[in-house]
Amino acid sequence: MKAVVFEQFNTFPTLKEVPEPTPGSGEVLLKVAGAGCCHSDVSVFQDYTPETGSHTKPPFILGHETTGWVEEVGPDVTGFKKGDAYIVYGPTGCGHCPHCVAGQENYCSSAATNKSLALGLGRDGGMAEYMTVPARNLVPLGDADPIGAAPLADAALTPYHAIRAAMPHLNGGGKYALVIGLGGLGQIAIQILHALTGATVIATDTKPEALAKAEAKGAIPVVSDEHQVENIRKITHGEGVDAAFDFVGVAPTIAAAQASGGPGSRVTVVGIAGGKAEYDWYSKPWEQELLGVYWGSIPELYDVANMYRHGQIETEIETYSLDNALDAYHKLVDNKLSARAVIVP
Ligand code: NAD
Ligand code: ZN
């Protein structure tokens, strides 16, 4: 079968013929419906080194936002029907530590010694015609469109977790939320904020078309430039926002998120761009919290799949065949995609 393979650190992926996998013990073979291209893949193949990428060691098939239909089950697996649609929960934890049994395989206690980080990150993912998945990583999609659902596995799950964790900052009292970086994750974050809170959402990006899309979703657009903090503070009548979500993660966006916050606000950095924050302990905004998050839990993926079925989250996608999958990654690297790219084998 054809697959998009990450073969070497600091090297663009390749499209190549690989053997079709067979499901082992505890696994299900999925016929892939769709696999989303996430910006994190760019860090994996472009930036990581054998030291920083020890859990995403090549070679493996990319694709950590995958949906598909059951094709075959492993020898000891029961309860699945051929043709049923599932979304894949990416993280591959040990399965038995306190985090894993709570469904948070993303925070597995044995992460340092596990063989892979996730399906599509250190172990074969969904950019191929078939993939094998541990049965416990499959969340049912019911009759939802599986191709449109593919980005939910990360582009919705990660913001959903970040927003849920910030709920105490966003409940009641005319709150303001700031979303920085309006790509795959940011556009879905706006929808989740509207579905879960009554907060006014302010959205920043450098790209006019990304700002226009955010405005169409009911967010107040602010151009990401040297006046953005002043403009954001004006919108909030000088108070500052109650929660900021940075989906870029460079030092200037983190600094902008901090400076846009009000007293007791929370800044969640989601973007993986190596940005470091400066934190002055004795200065405004008082009692501001700053935290980083990584992906989400299986129970949260169930919620996200339900929100998609109920129409609370809509994904915007551009589909590519496996033959054109590398074009999608080139566009992602050049910031030229106008929607989440989903590879449809
Ligand atoms: P994307 O490429 O789809 O979108 C990025 C957006 O940010 C684009 O619209 C771009 O114009 C905008 N942008 C770039 N620089 C900016 C700046 N200085 N100011 C404002 N906007 C700017 O990316 P994505 O797939 O949505 O991923 C977003 C980030 O989240 C990436 O860094 C990715 O690696 C990271 N990520 C983190 C996790 C996690 O668990 N922490 C999970 C998934 C993705
Ligand atoms: Zn574990």
Q: Return the pLDDT at 95.
A: 95
Tally the C-alpha atoms within 13 A of residue 10's C-alpha that lie toward its C-beta: 4
Task: Tell me: pLDDT of 221 over 90.
Answer: yes
- 265: three-class secondary structure by DSSP: strand
Report d(CA 152, CA 156) in Å as an integer: 4
Answer yes or no: is the ipTM higher than 0.85. Answer: yes
Contact 315, 213 (CB under 8 A): no
Residue ranges in the chain assigned as alpha helix (H): 39-42, 98-101, 146-149, 157-165, 167-170, 184-196, 208-216, 228-235, 251-260, 298-309, 325-333
How many angstroms separate the alpha carbon of residue 247 from the centre of ligand 1?
A: 5
Pocket of ligand 1 (CB under 6 A): 38-40, 43, 154, 158, 180-186, 204-207, 210, 224, 247-250, 253, 270-273, 293-295, 332, 335
Contact 339, 317 (CB under 8 A): yes
**292 Cα nearest atom in ligand 1:** 41
Q: Which residue has the CA at smallest separation from atom 34 of ligand 1?
A: 40
The mean per-residue pLDDT over the stretch 296-318 comes to 98
Residue to substitute in 270, 293, 295 for testing ligand 1 pocket (most ligand atoms within 8 angstroms of CB)? 270
pLDDT digits (tens, 9 = 90+) for 19-67: 999 999 999 999 999 999 999 999 999 999 999 998 899 999 999 999 9
DSSP 136: G
The mean per-residue pLDDT over the stretch 114-142 comes to 97
**155 Cα nearest atom in ligand 1:** 43
The mean per-residue pLDDT over the stretch 3-9 comes to 98
pLDDT digits (tens, 9 = 90+) for 137-150: 999 999 999 999 99
Q: How far is CA 17 from CA 2, 86, 223, 252, 317, in A?
A: 5, 25, 44, 42, 26
Report the top-level CATH class of 2-151+315-343. alpha beta
Residue bearing the bigger pLDDT, 54 or 219:
219
Q: How far is CA 282 from CA 169, 273, 289, in A?
A: 21, 27, 13
Q: Return the pLDDT at 84.
A: 98
Strands 2-6 and 60-61: antiparallel
Other beta carbons less than 10 A from residue 250's beta carbon:
17
Mean pLDDT over all residues of the chain?
97
Task: Tell me: pLDDT of 270 over 90.
Answer: yes
Tally the C-alpha atoms within 13 A of residue 232's C-alpha that lie toward its C-beta: 32
Report d(CA 335, CA 332) in Å as an integer: 5
Q: Looking at the chain, which residues constitute the CATH 3.40.50.720 domain(s)?
A: 157-292
Q: Three-state SS string across 82-122, please?
A: CCCEEEECCECCCCCCHHHHCCCHHHCCCCCCCCCCEECEE
Start-to-end C-alpha separation, the chain: 10
The overall longest dimension of the chain from CA atoms, in Å, is: 62
How many angstroms separate the alpha carbon of residue 101 from the centre of ligand 2?
A: 7
Question: At 172, is the pLDDT very low, low, confident or very high (cuts 50, 70, 90)?
Answer: confident
Report d(CA 341, CA 329) in Å as an integer: 8
Q: Return the pLDDT at 173.
A: 87
The mean per-residue pLDDT over the stretch 164-180 comes to 96
Contact 116, 123 (CB under 8 A): yes
Residue 137, judged by CB atoms within 10 A of its CB (0-12, 13-18, 19+), counts as buried
How many angstroms separate the alpha carbon of residue 2 from the centre of ligand 2?
A: 32
- Among all bound ligands, the one having the nearest atom to the CA of 93 is 2
- Among all bound ligands, the one having the nearest atom to the CA of 158 is 1
Other beta carbons less than 10 A from residue 283's beta carbon:
8
- Among all bound ligands, the one having the nearest atom to the CA of 187 is 1
DSSP 128: B
Question: At 247, is the pLDDT very low, low, confident or very high (cuts 50, 70, 90)?
Answer: very high
CATH number of 157-292: 3.40.50.720
The mean per-residue pLDDT over the stretch 14-18 comes to 98
How many angstroms separate the alpha carbon of residue 157 from the centre of ligand 2?
A: 19
The mean per-residue pLDDT over the stretch 162-178 comes to 96
